[in-house]
Structure 1
């Protein structure tokens, strides 16, 4: 995966994959609700700067998180959808206590389509199979 760097910070790397025409977001380290919301806003800014229909959202490098999906998250997903996002492949952190609650929320989201994965390879394959609409 060859990436054009959009943002490269200690907490996140965001790049554009021109081969697959999607954003790749690599979250790193510890994340709180506040840092997660700030990173999500960077994702929104990146999507607006490099419009595309898909995001590979890789959380596998997160070492600790206290994040839960909230009303803010629903607002953010709607903003992402409005910016053109149709599909997001979300790779879970290795140690994620809120998985069951998150799955319940994700199942209710219609647009963009959100699919969750335990590894980047599976997320990558799924995202490649999704057609632009």
Structure 2
């Protein structure tokens, strides 16, 4: 990735990484470990700033390494993050779903809440998600 940022929790654990691949015009976001409302908002606002800085209309959002639910942030994601990302130009959202059933249920709940904002698909691998994004 040409440019990559990462966000860490207080004790130094990385909970979010994001970057771009210029040749693919896709913003890539990766989430790690247990998420809180604060970490979800921090990562969400970081994605928003990256989209505003250099508008890309495609996001590959990987929850593959998320542990547990982050449903405490769903209302914020629906009412603030999704409309702001749409306004900033996001149109296609590829979600890589985790093995954790609780995190997967949270992703599915989010998709039900925001599917009118973007064209959204879920995938089991980053490769599949990227292939779809490249095709749209």
Pairwise same-fold verdict (TM > 0.5): yes
CA shift, 1:122, in A, is 1.3
SS in 2 for 1:85: coil
**Distance in 2 between the 1:31 and 1:101 partners?**
11
1:1-133 map, 5 Å: 3-9=1-7, 10-62=14-66, 64-68=67-71, 70-74=74-78, 75-97=80-102, 99-100=104-105, 102-103=107-108, 105-107=110-112, 109-130=115-136
SS at match of 1:66: coil
CA distance in 2, matches of 1:12, 1:101: 17
Segments of structure 1 that go 5 or more residues without pairing to the other structure are none
Could you tell me the TM-score, scaled by structure 2's length? 0.82
Query: Which segment drifts farther, 49-58 or 89-98?
Result: 89-98
Structure (1/2) with the larger helix percentage = 2
Q: Give the alignment's TM-score, normalised by structure 1.
A: 0.83
Contact map agreement 1:89 1:115 (CA 8 A) in 2: yes
Moved over 4 A (4+): none
Is the Cα contact below 8 Å between 1:6 and 1:46 reproduced in 2?
A: no
After TM superposition, give the deviation of residue 6 of structure 1 in Å.
3.8
Can you list the C-alpha shifts for 1:48-104, whole angstroms capped at 9, x where unaligned? 112110011111122x13312622111211100000000010111221325346435
User: Aligned pairs, how many?
Assistant: 127
